[in-house]
């Protein structure tokens, strides 16, 4: 009784402001190497997908045998894979196709995958313009494939909508096990699909009362042609003028059935009895309620029958419209009494295009990799609430982009997480905490000048670095501005996401590692002090030594991006962190016979040591330190898979997870403010854990009720588990 | 407005002529008799028991007139029992007022502009409370209720010491209006209790002759789709779908054990409301007539409109509606459809949706039989056939859609079976008379308890119903 496709293109409503022209060069990026095109043409929007490679600079460290320098830093060109998804209005399709044709260098591409209701209409145009064969793919299959992909690869993909809450969007923690789920796609009709695995799904039902009913019936009742205008009308209307409520029949509530007086007993019931005029707004509102309630009710009945608790809603009826998300949420809450939550997807509009792309890229097997959203290249979720940010709205309606990077490593859960499905990496959700949000946004904006300066300084021999650094400044400042208005743009706003966004922006403008030189200098210096430090530690009594070791680790990380109160003197102490803090600590563990797995960042982030650097440092230390173990198998260096000062324990390198399992790790030490305070402070592990950091930010210290430079030393033992013979994982 | 009743105008009420004289509860009713009657199957009552019961009933019978009322969101449904076994003595005793009410109601089929008596529904030679008579079905729009009350006031209904049995939301909403405008006390009964009792009762009454329940054979084949009787002998469990202004769906496991599974606001009121807005019509009959002349496929977008044929990947036939009113997204198509097409599409949309929700409820509750009742189905064969079709097609023959011969029209929703009279007993007790398949049960409420308390809890009501009257 239903269908999944969009609507005929001839009925599309071009409601956006066309005075803003589409800047093709800004949105179709990396076309030179683009291949594997896919297109999803809906009723009013076209979504284009392609695979491309990006060349960017990376800082590599190389060890030399000379004693003069610890290691050499060389900036190399690296090619990484990136997926581009672009959404624009159908009106621009011809312009866009022309632009793509002109810039397409890769001539291997012969086919473009296509899906969506409008695919057949534009088939000829695409074939003529691009000279590619249009290969049509089943719409629902694409939709499901796309849905699986975003749920797996984007941690904050799904959200719950709460209109009057402090933050409208409450993002869900990514459950590593995404199946089974129910997808309710509300196009012109409704399709209800049960998804059980990557390739297994079934359309278990549907309804003919969907977006087309709202639009068609709404147009008849209100003489308003456009979908968006109808929603506008609805948001201003009073449905109680048109609907017959329980109280209109009962005078109050129908107590013994628990039906409250405000419940709609009969949609449009008043227009049958009262002989009067009804306002367009009221009728549109009543219609919206009627349709949303009906869909919500059916979705609940299907969810119940198939025993599913995760229900995602998508389709053009939903597509980021706060009004429809609210009414659907209300309906689901009503019918399931809160047992099932209505979930929406941040990239819902892209699902078809992503799926079609994946169909076309099957030989590359994109699903064997982990992918990450590139915050620098993605537009993020826009609120379409008209009064919120009119500028953004017009722009988001014109075009929207999503870019995803193929990650070098496949990311998985830390096997020692107590409950992966409830694990939330971030300690404070800035989307919900307005005070903290204001502070951190200000903090990052304030620190921007310093970051730009350091970026320029990191490339002293390249004159155009100044220009690039300026571009970086603009980009990141714009991101911060966007986040101030729309904190939910990239999922939950956190200190971690702010840092990641900055890293992405720096990478975008080829500043892969602004701290490499400083780190090199400091590591070099610290190494010179290593021997003496170790010797003086060894001279201490056992108890004193333990205290000194912990102090060393903590003292090391007294440098931070947000550490405004910290004077410049600490900038000189970078190498202290790892060489004079962490390494002696590790050495102590090793000398006691404990196996240690030392995990460090895969890529550069601020002054954090990278795995590459650590390899060299360890070699050097091993050469001068006779303590057993440093050379032996008992110390394992692994990559964390992360390139951030923070750490998401649900997205760690697969190799790390494997080593942790093999070595029967039973103690996890998380060190540093980014890893142990901003993230993972509340993380519950299934083994002993130790979280240590110094609060280096006075605002945060105040907030936590402590003083600046207070020490956090959090030792937790799960009930009945004390570590014995297993290895220790040190996350540094 | 209904009941403008000119015949009544000259009637003068005899204040003392209360019909309560008929009730003389001066003798204790043998408890065993009633208990025995209750225990036996209501439909196969032995003669001796009937006699016993008759005797007891005589003494506990409420005075005439016997009314039951269902005040819904759109329509008021009134049931009136006309005694046909009135003896000469009674005739003489009967107050003029009562007589004129009887004559007025039974000799007319239209009351005012909007009141109707559905003659074809009349149940004749019915035995109720030991009295034989006819049951009449009258309806008028809820919005005309004030006029009805005005009439009741003019006719001094209250002098008959009548407490009206009423159900439906209006029993609550208009209770104070009844009191202040017409000095009438309402005895409120739960809507859903009444509905189920009504359905069971009418089935039992009818099954003596014509079968009340029927279904459509070959619902998927329009040429061979015929109405067939269905014996509701072993009715449980059954899904009862009551389509009034809105829709209530009940799962009934036994006469006394049921639950409201869910409901939808897309019901008869939505059909009429949307039709009024879309076509300018004003009555249900008008809307239905238009719908029967229209073509919904011009308004709805079908699967084949999108896929050119069936959507095989998902087993969707080309003729299935993909998007109700989906074609109306296009301006040209909006301009090319007729009012009749729109009325038809509205009917199809609402009906299909009810079918869809019902089917899901049946699956969730694991029930295979569905009885559709309610005013929406009155003279609405189109919807009934559509429901029969939808149930059969989408369940692949698993579900059976049943309808009631009378379409229990008003009866299903009304409380023909429950009437209450105020007993002139020194205890000032209330008598609650409830008709049960073939049986009349009289029970007495605790002294001083208001009728609404009696019915506020279903269990309490049932408890009372099973307690024989002892005055």
- HEC secondary structure over A656-709: HHHHHHHCCCCEEEEECHHHHHHECCCCCECCEEEEEEECCCHHHHHHCCCCCC
Given an 8 Å threshold on Cβ–Cβ distance, is B361 in contact with A301? yes
Average pLDDT of B178-199?
79
| Cα–Cα distance for residue pair A599/A610, rounded to 1 Å | 9
Q: Which residues in chain B have Cβ-Cβ distances shorter than 8 Å to A257?
A: 192, 260
Residue B88 has pLDDT above 90, yes or no: no
User: Comparing A320 with B351, which gets the higher pLDDT?
Assistant: B351
Least confident of A313-327, A682-696, B73-87, B350-364: B73-87
ipTM higher than 0.90?
no
Going by pLDDT thresholds of 50, 70 and 90, the confidence category of residue B69 is: confident
Residues 6+ apart with CB under 8 A from A323: A231, A234, A235, A288
Given an 8 Å threshold on Cβ–Cβ distance, is B323 in contact with A188? yes
| Cα–Cα distance for residue pair A60/A72, rounded to 1 Å | 8
Q: Which residues in chain B have Cβ-Cβ distances shorter than 8 Å to A120?
A: none
Note whether A49 and A84 are within 8 A (CB): yes
Distances (CA, A) of A60 to A9, A421, B68, B227: 51, 36, 90, 83
Please give the torsion angle defined by the CA atoms of residues A328, A331, A333 and A337, in that order, rounded to the nearest 10 degrees: -160
Residue of B nearest to A252 (CA): B173
Residue of B nearest to A277 (CA): B277
| Cα–Cα distance for residue pair A97/A31, rounded to 1 Å | 12
Segment A713-717 long-range contacts (CB within 8 Å, at least 24 positions apart) = A713/A550, A713/A554, A714/A676, A714/A681, A714/A689, A714/A690, A715/A688, A715/A689, A715/A690, A715/A691, A716/A684, A716/A685, A716/A688, A716/A689, A716/A690, A716/A691, A717/A688
State whether residue A336 sits within 8 Å of chain B by CB.
Answer: no
Q: Which residues in chain B have Cβ-Cβ distances shorter than 8 Å to A335?
A: 262
State whether residue B342 sits within 8 Å of chain A by CB.
Answer: yes
Residue B35 has pLDDT above 60, yes or no: no
Q: Which residues in chain A have Cβ-Cβ distances shorter than 8 Å to B278?
A: 220-221
Comparing CB atoms, the residue among B173, B269, B457 nearest residue A268 is: B269
What residues 62-91 of chain B have any CB closer than 8 A to a CB of chain A?
A: 72-74
Question: In degrees rounded to 5, what are phi and psi of residue A334?
Answer: -65, -50
What pLDDT was estimated at residue B55? 52
User: Comparing B209 with A261, which gets the higher pLDDT?
Assistant: A261
Residue A297 has pLDDT above 70, yes or no: yes
Q: How many CB pairs under 8 A join A and B?
A: 227
State whether residue A11 sits within 8 Å of chain B by CB.
Answer: yes
Going by pLDDT thresholds of 50, 70 and 90, the confidence category of residue B60 is: low
Note whether A687 and A727 are within 8 A (CB): no
| Cα–Cα distance for residue pair A100/A98, rounded to 1 Å | 5
Given an 8 Å threshold on Cβ–Cβ distance, is A220 in contact with B306? no
Comparing CB atoms, the residue among B267, B316, B328 nearest residue A216 is: B328
What pLDDT was estimated at residue A475? 95
Residue A356 tokens read as 């079609």
Residue of B nearest to A280 (CA): B277
- Based on the residue annotation, tell me whether B212 is a catalytic residue of this protein: no
Q: Is the alpha carbon torsion for A516, A520, A522, A526 positive or negative?
A: positive
Note whether A55 and A508 are within 8 A (CB): no
Going by pLDDT thresholds of 50, 70 and 90, the confidence category of residue B411 is: very low
Residue A223 tokens read as 């003489």
Q: How many CB atoms lie within 10 A of CB A391?
A: 9
Residue A558 has pLDDT above 50, yes or no: no
Residue A264 has pLDDT above 80, yes or no: yes
How many angstroms separate the CA of residue B420 from the nearest CA in chain A? 21
Residue of B nearest to A270 (CA): B273
Given an 8 Å threshold on Cβ–Cβ distance, is A216 in contact with B74? no
State whether residue B264 sits within 8 Å of chain A by CB.
Answer: yes
Comparing CB atoms, the residue among A215, A272, A335 nearest residue B276 is: A272
Comparing CB atoms, the residue among B192, B269, B275 nearest residue A266 is: B269
Residue B266 has pLDDT above 90, yes or no: yes
Least confident of A323-337, A687-701, B425-439, B450-464: B425-439
Comparing CB atoms, the residue among B173, B274, B311 nearest residue A268 is: B274
State whether residue B172 sits within 8 Å of chain A by CB.
Answer: yes
Note whether A165 and A488 are within 8 A (CB): no
Comparing CB atoms, the residue among A219, A250, A255 nearest residue B329 is: A219
Comparing CB atoms, the residue among A1, A213, A283 nearest residue B320 is: A1
Residue of A nearest to B304 (CA): A3
Least confident of A368-377, A611-620, B86-95: B86-95
Percent of chain A with pLDDT over 90: 45
Tell me which DSSP letter residue A630 carries. Answer: S
Note whether B97 and B159 are within 8 A (CB): yes
Note whether A651 and A711 are within 8 A (CB): no
pLDDT in tens, B233-257: 778 899 999 998 999 999 999 878 8
Residue of B nearest to A331 (CA): B264
| Cα–Cα distance for residue pair A279/A284, rounded to 1 Å | 9
Q: Which residues in chain B have Cβ-Cβ distances shorter than 8 Å to A298?
A: 356-357, 360
What pLDDT was estimated at residue A398? 65
How many angstroms separate the CA of residue A201 from the nearest CA in chain B? 11
Q: How many CB atoms lie within 10 A of CB B41?
A: 8
| Cα–Cα distance for residue pair B297/B320, rounded to 1 Å | 10
How many angstroms separate the CA of residue A193 from the nearest CA in chain B? 10
How many angstroms separate the CA of residue B452 from the nearest CA in chain A? 12
What pLDDT was estimated at residue B26? 37
Average pLDDT of A224-236?
92
User: Comparing A464 with B457, which gets the higher pLDDT?
Assistant: A464
Given an 8 Å threshold on Cβ–Cβ distance, is A298 in contact with B357? yes
| Cα–Cα distance for residue pair A184/A193, rounded to 1 Å | 6
Question: In degrees rounded to 5, what are phi and psi of residue B77?
Answer: -110, 125
Going by pLDDT thresholds of 50, 70 and 90, the confidence category of residue B279 is: very high
What pLDDT was estimated at residue B162? 66
Given an 8 Å threshold on Cβ–Cβ distance, is B349 in contact with A248? no
- Locate all alpha helices (DSSP H) within A154-276, ordered by sequence: 211-222, 227-236, 246-250, 270-273
How many angstroms separate the CA of residue B169 from the nearest CA in chain A? 4
Residue A629 has pLDDT above 70, yes or no: no
Q: Which residues in chain B have Cβ-Cβ distances shorter than 8 Å to A2?
A: 316, 320-323
| Cα–Cα distance for residue pair B126/B204, rounded to 1 Å | 12
Residue A396 has pLDDT above 60, yes or no: no
Comparing CB atoms, the residue among A1, A140, A221 nearest residue B321 is: A1
What pLDDT was estimated at residue A149? 95
State whether residue B260 sits within 8 Å of chain A by CB.
Answer: yes
Q: How would you list the strands of the sheet with A711-716, edge to edge? A: A635-639, A596-600, A728-731, A667-671, A688-694, A711-716
Please give the torsion angle defined by the CA atoms of residues A356, A360, A365 and A371, in that order, rounded to the nearest 10 degrees: -40
State whether residue B32 sits within 8 Å of chain A by CB.
Answer: no
Residue A231 tokens read as 């929603």
Residue of A nearest to B455 (CA): A256
| Cα–Cα distance for residue pair A406/A53, rounded to 1 Å | 10
What residues 260-299 of chain A have any CB closer than 8 A to a CB of chain B?
A: 263-275, 278, 283, 290, 293-294, 297-298
Please give the torsion angle defined by the CA atoms of residues B71, B73, B76 and B79, in that order, rounded to the nearest 10 degrees: -50
Query: Residue B272 is inside which H or E element, if any?
Result: helix B268-279
What pLDDT was estimated at residue B16? 37
Least confident of A579-593, B191-205, B212-226: B191-205
Q: How far is it between the farthest Cα atoms of chain A? A: 97
Given an 8 Å threshold on Cβ–Cβ distance, is A3 in contact with B342? no
Q: Residue B267, CB half-sphere, CA atoms under 13 Å: how many?
A: 31
Q: Which residues in chain B have Cβ-Cβ distances shorter than 8 Å to A268?
A: 269-270, 273-274, 277
Planar angle of CA A46, A47, A51, nearest 5 degrees: 145
State whether residue A213 sits within 8 Å of chain B by CB.
Answer: yes
Q: How far is C-alpha B5 from the geometric centre of its chain's CA atoms?
A: 24
- Whole-number mean pLDDT of chain B? 72
Residue of B nearest to A304 (CA): B364
Residue A572 has pLDDT above 80, yes or no: no
What pLDDT was estimated at residue B66? 79
- Locate all alpha helices (DSSP H) within A509-582, ordered by sequence: 516-538, 542-556, 574-575
Helix axes of A139-153 and A351-360: crossing angle, nearest 10 degrees: 100
Catalytic: which of B82, B191, B340, B413? B191
pLDDT in tens, A317-338: 998 888 899 999 999 999 998 8
């Amino acid at each position: 009784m239903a269908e999944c496709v969009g609507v005929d293109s001839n009925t599309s409503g071009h409601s956006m402001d066309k005075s803003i022209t589409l800047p093709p060069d800004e949105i179709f990026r990396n076309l030179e190497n683009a291949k594997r095109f896919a297109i999803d043409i809906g009723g009013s929007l076209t979504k284009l997908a392609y695979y491309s490679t990006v060349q960017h600079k990376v800082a590599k460290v190389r060890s030399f045998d000379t004693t003069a320098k610890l290691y050499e830093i060389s900036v190399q060109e690296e090619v990484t894979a990136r997926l581009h998804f672009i959404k624009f209005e159908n009106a621009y399709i011809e312009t866009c196709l022309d632009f793509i044709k002109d810039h397409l260098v890769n001539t291997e591409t012969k086919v473009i995958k296509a899906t969506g209701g409008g695919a057949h209409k534009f088939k000829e145009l695409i074939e003529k313009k691009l000279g590619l064969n249009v290969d049509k793919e089943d719409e629902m299959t694409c939709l499901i494939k796309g849905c699986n992909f975003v749920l797996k690869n984007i941690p904050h993909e799904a959200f719950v909508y709460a209109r009057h809450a402090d933050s409208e969007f409450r993002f869900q923690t990514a459950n590593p096990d995404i199946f089974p789920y129910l997808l309710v796609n509300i196009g012109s009709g409704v399709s209800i699909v049960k998804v059980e695995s990557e390739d297994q799904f079934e359309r278990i039902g549907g309804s003919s009362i969907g977006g087309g009913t709202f639009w068609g019936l709404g147009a008849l009742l209100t003489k308003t042609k456009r979908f968006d205008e109808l929603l506008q009308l609805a948001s201003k209307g009073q449905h109680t003028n048109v609907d017959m409520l329980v109280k209109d029949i009962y005078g109050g509530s129908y107590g013994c059935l628990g039906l409250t007086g405000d419940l709609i007993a009969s949609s449009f019931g008043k227009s049958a009895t009262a002989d009067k005029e009804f306002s367009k707004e009221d009728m549109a509102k009543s219609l919206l309620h009627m349709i949303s309630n009906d869909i919500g009710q059916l979705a609940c009945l299907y969810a119940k029958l198939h025993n599913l608790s995760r229900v995602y809603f998508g389709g053009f009826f939903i597509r980021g419209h706060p009004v429809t998300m609210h009414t659907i949420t209300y309906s689901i809450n009503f019918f399931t009494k809160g047992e099932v939550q209505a979930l929406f997807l941040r990239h819902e509009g892209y699902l078809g295009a992503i799926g079609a792309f994946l169909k076309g890229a099957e030989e590359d097997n994109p699903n064997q990799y982990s992918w990450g959203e590139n915050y620098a290249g993605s537009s993020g979720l826009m609120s379409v609430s008209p009064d919120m940010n009119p500028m953004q709205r017009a722009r988001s309606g014109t075009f929207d982009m999503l870019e995803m990077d193929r990650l070098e490593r496949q990311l998985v859960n830390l096997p020692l997480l107590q409950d992966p499905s409830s694990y939330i990496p971030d300690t404070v959700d800035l989307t919900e905490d307005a005070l903290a949000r204001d502070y951190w946004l200000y903090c990052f904006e304030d620190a921007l000048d310093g970051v730009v300066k350091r970026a320029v300084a990191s490339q002293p021999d390249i004159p155009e670095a100044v220009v690039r650094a300026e571009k970086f400044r603009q980009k990141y400042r714009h991101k911060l501005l966007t986040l101030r208005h729309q904190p939910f743009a990239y999922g939950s706003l956190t200190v971690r996401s702010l840092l990641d966004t900055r890293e992405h922006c720096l990478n975008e403008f080829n500043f892969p590692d602004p701290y490499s030189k400083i780190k090199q200098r400091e590591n070099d210096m610290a190494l010179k002090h290593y021997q003496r430090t170790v010797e003086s530690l060894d001279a201490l009594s056992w108890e004193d030594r333990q205290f000194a070791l912990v102090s060393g680790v903590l003292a090391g990380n007294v440098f931070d991006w947000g550490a405004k109160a910290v004077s410049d003197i600490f900038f000189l102490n970078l190498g202290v962190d790892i060489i004079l803090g962490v390494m002696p600590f590790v050495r102590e563990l090793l000398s006691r016979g404990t196996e240690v797995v030392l995990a460090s960042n895969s890529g550069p982030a601020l002054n954090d040591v990278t795995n590459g650097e650590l390899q060299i440092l360890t070699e050097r230390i091993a050469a001068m330190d006779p303590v057993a173990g440093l050379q032996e198998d008992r110390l394992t260096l692994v990559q964390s898979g992360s390139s951030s000062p923070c750490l998401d324990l649900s997205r760690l390198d697969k190799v790390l997870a494997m080593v942790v399992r093999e070595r029967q790790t039973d103690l996890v030490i998380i060190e540093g403010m980014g890893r142990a305070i901003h993230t993972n402070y509340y993380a519950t592990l299934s083994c002993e854990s130790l979280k240590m950091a110094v609060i280096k930010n006075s605002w945060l210290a105040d907030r936590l009720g402590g003083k600046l430079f207070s020490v956090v030393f959090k030792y937790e033992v799960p009930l009945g588990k004390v570590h014995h013979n297993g290895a220790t994982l040190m996350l540094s | 407005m209904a009941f403008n009743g000119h015949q009544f105008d000259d009637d003068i009420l005899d204040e003392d002529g209360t019909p309560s004289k008929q009730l003389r509860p001066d003798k204790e009713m043998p408890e065993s008799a009633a208990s025995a009657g209750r225990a036996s199957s209501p439909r196969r009552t032995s003669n001796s028991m009937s006699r016993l019961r008759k005797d007891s009933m005589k003494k506990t019978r409420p005075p005439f007139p016997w009314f039951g009322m269902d005040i819904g969101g759109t329509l008021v449904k009134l049931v009136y029992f006309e005694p046909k076994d009135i003896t000469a003595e009674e005739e003489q005793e009967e107050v003029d007022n009562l007589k004129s009410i009887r004559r007025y109601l039974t000799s007319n089929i239209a009351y005012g502009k909007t009141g109707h008596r559905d003659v074809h529904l009349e149940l004749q030679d019915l035995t109720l409370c030991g009295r034989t008579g006819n049951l009449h079905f009258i309806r008028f729009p809820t919005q005309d209720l004030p006029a009805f009350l005005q009439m009741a006031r003019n006719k001094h209904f209250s002098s008959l010491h009548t407490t009206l049995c009423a159900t439906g939301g209006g029993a609550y909403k208009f209770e104070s209006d009844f009191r202040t405008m017409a000095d009438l006390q309402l005895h409120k009964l739960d809507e859903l209790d009444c509905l189920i009792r009504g359905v069971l009762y009418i089935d039992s009454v009818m099954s003596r002759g014509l079968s009340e329940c029927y279904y459509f054979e070959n619902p998927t084949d329009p040429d061979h789709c015929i109405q067939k009787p269905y014996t509701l002998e072993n009715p449980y469990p059954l899904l009862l779908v009551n389509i009034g202004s809105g829709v209530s769906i009940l799962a009934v496991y036994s006469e006394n054990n049921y639950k409201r599974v869910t409901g939808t606001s897309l019901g008869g009121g939505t059909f009429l409301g949307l039709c009024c807005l879309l076509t300018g019509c004003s009555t249900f009959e008008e809307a239905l007539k238009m719908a029967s002349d229209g073509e919904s496929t011009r308004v709805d977008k079908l699967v084949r409109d999108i896929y050119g044929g069936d959507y095989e990947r998902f087993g969707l036939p080309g003729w299935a509606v993909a998007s109700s009113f989906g074609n109306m997204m296009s301006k040209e198509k909006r301009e090319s459809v007729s009012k009749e097409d729109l009325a038809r599409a509205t009917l199809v949309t609402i009906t299909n949706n009810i079918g869809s929700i019902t089917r899901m409820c049946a699956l969730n509750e694991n029930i295979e039989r569905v009885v559709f009742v309610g005013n929406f189905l009155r003279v609405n064969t189109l919807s009934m056939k559509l429901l029969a079709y939808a149930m059969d097609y989408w369940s692949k023959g698993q579900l059976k859609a049943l309808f009631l011969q009378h379409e229990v029209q008003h009866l299903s929703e009304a409380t023909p079976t429950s009437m209450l009279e105020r007993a002139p007993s020194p205890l000032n007790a209330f008598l609650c008379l409830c008709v049960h398949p073939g049986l009349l049960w009289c029970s007495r409420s605790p002294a001083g308890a208001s009728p609404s308390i009696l019915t506020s809890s279903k269990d309490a009501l049932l408890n009372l119903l099973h307690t024989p009257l002892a005055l």
